[in-house]
């Protein structure tokens, strides 16, 4: 232990991060050991690099940006549509399809105490988001008479509460062997001077590394390997907070197979040019997403000959990947983006600080940065009212109130 402590001290001195041991003496033995291990796992050169990157904004203006073509679900001729669906259904029935729900986020905007998936949405009665998602998967299992394994990505912070929730709900009667969890990676948070924060328990302050962390986490946690063994070929990946996500979609799958793509994504038309959503595009000839913070007003308002927005296909975090694409993407790290957030910490005088303004950088990678690793992908435009009801904010846009309304409306129309 002494040796380990000395080694850690030396590393911290080298990188000027000695504040990380400020609470060390107050910790119990087991926590002391944990803290040292936590520190030894940090890639300090990477943290230094990420800190330098916070100082200059990445510019995408050097890229060639063009619209990405899409297929409008409403406009596919019936015969063609049936052909795609048949292909997709065959694959699902053969047990080659799985669903992954990304539930490792902190859900700070919603402010729910506990994993976001346990948030109860009023849909006639109150139902947790996980229950609503489970219902969608179960309906598909019944419809296609197939086992559809469900994988859930959690974070170190919410893994215990998430897995306990599923245990209590008996894995929604899908069989424990068909519901698997895996924990995503984390990165330390740093202040504006590049110093890594100490959390309120005296440990390194870390945060989940973004939904783009899914590929590395699936590989590291043996999920892709397990999928391979089960014969899974196509994997639908979506967030935990879209209660209308159509996670088992033979049409999307059939299109991807038919067109020989290794990935496919769903889009909904932007409500208006200023809506705060990322949109699909091509960057340097590769599929990509431009975020609303990056797009110029001129680009956002550009229309084609039919008066449709050229950059109007919103990315709704509902994407389908072939397992080969996931394995390929997982070989390299995706870029990290920094976000300036409020983070509680212990300062150099040993005082717990609860900031009222953002004070620290969090680093996240985004799932859509992986699209650029693919040569092309299919985009299917679907109807917003049928597939997109996100729960993001506590109130206002994309809140429980709007999602609940959309969900109830959808069920009413479906049962007509």
Q: Which of residues 300-359 bind ligand UTP (CB under 6 A)?
A: 317
Distance CA 175, CA 48 (A): 45
Decide if residue 109 touches ligand UTP (CB under 6 A): yes
CB of 156 to ligand UTP, least distance (A): 11
Q: Report the residue closest to ligand UTP, judged by CB.
A: 105
Decide if residue 252 touches ligand UTP (CB under 6 A): no
CB atoms within 10 A of CB 202: 19
Decide if residue 239 touches ligand UTP (CB under 6 A): yes
Answer for the pair 302, 293: CB distance below 8 angstroms, yes or no. Answer: no
Decide if residue 235 touches ligand UTP (CB under 6 A): no
Please, what is the Cα angle at 204 between 201 and 208, to 5 degrees? 105
Stretch that binds ligand UTP, among 98-106, 121-129, 255-263, 281-289 (CB under 6 A): 98-106
Decide if residue 400 touches ligand UTP (CB under 6 A): no
Decide if residue 108 touches ligand UTP (CB under 6 A): yes
CB atoms within 10 A of CB 147: 16
Distance CA 65, CA 281 (A): 7
Choose, by CB under 6 A, the member of 107, 149, 254, 278 that binds ligand UTP: 107
Residues in the chain: 416
CB of 6 to ligand UTP, least distance (A): 34
CB of 93 to ligand UTP, least distance (A): 28
Q: Report in angstroms the alpha-carbon separations of 273 from 19, 63, 216, 253, 380.
A: 46, 21, 34, 29, 20
Stretch that binds ligand UTP, among 22-30, 65-73, 103-111, 342-350 (CB under 6 A): 103-111
Enumerate residues 6+ apart whose C-beta is below 8 A from 4: 33, 36, 40
CB of 23 to ligand UTP, least distance (A): 25
Structure tokens at 178: 């068909």
Comparing CB distances to ligand UTP, the nearer of 255 and 367 is 367
CB of 149 to ligand UTP, least distance (A): 18
- What does the DSSP assignment read for 92-159? HHTT-EEEEEE--S--TTTT-SS-GGGPEEESSSEEEHHHHHHHHHHHHHHHHT----EEEEE-TTTH
Comparing CB distances to ligand UTP, the nearer of 255 and 318 is 318
Positions that interact with ligand UTP (CB under 6 A): 102-109, 116, 153, 184, 208-211, 213, 239-241, 317, 364, 392
């Amino acid at each position: 232990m002494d040796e380990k402590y000395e080694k850690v001290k030396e590393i911290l001195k080298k990188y000027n991060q000695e504040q990380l041991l400020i609470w060390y003496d107050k910790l119990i033995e087991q926590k002391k050991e944990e803290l040292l291990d936590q520190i030894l796992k940090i890639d300090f050169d990477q943290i230094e690099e990420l800190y330098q990157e916070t100082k200059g904004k990445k510019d995408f203006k050097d890229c060639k940006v063009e619209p990405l073509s899409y297929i409008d679900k409403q406009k596919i001729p019936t015969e063609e549509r049936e052909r795609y669906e048949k292909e997709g259904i065959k694959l699902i029935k053969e047990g080659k399809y799985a669903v992954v729900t990304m539930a490792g986020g902190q859900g700070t905007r919603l402010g729910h105490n506990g994993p976001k998936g346990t948030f109860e949405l009023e849909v006639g009665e109150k139902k947790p988001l996980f229950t609503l998602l489970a219902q969608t998967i179960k309906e598909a299992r019944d419809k296609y008479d197939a086992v559809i394994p469900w994988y859930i990505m959690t974070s170190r912070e919410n893994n215990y509460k998430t897995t306990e929730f599923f245990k209590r709900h008996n894995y929604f009667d899908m069989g424990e062997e068909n519901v698997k969890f895996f924990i995503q990676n984390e990165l330390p948070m740093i202040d504006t001077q590049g110093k890594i924060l100490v959390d309120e328990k005296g440990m390194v302050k870390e945060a989940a590394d973004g939904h783009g962390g899914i590929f590395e986490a699936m590989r590291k946690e043996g999920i892709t390997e397990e999928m391979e063994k089960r014969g899974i070929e196509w994997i639908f990946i979506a967030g935990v907070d879209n209660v209308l996500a159509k996670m088992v979609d033979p049409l999307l799958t059939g299109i991807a197979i038919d067109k020989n793509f290794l990935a496919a994504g769903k889009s909904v038309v932007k409500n208006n040019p200023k809506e705060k959503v990322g949109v699909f595009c091509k960057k340097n000839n590769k599929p990509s997403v431009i975020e609303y913070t990056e797009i110029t007003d001129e680009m956002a308002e550009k229309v084609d000959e039919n008066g449709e927005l050229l950059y109007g296909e919103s990315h709704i975090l509902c994407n389908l990947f072939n397992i080969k694409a996931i394995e390929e993407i997982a070989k390299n790290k995706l870029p990290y983006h920094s976000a300036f957030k409020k983070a509680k910490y212990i300062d150099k005088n040993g005082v717990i600080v609860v900031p009222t303004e953002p004070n620290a950088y969090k680093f996240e990678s985004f799932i859509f940065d992986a699209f650029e690793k693919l040569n092309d992908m299919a985009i299917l435009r679907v109807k917003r009212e049928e597939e997109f009801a996100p729960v993001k904010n506590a109130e206002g846009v994309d809140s429980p109130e709007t999602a609940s309304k959309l969900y109830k409306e959808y069920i009413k129309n479906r049962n007509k």
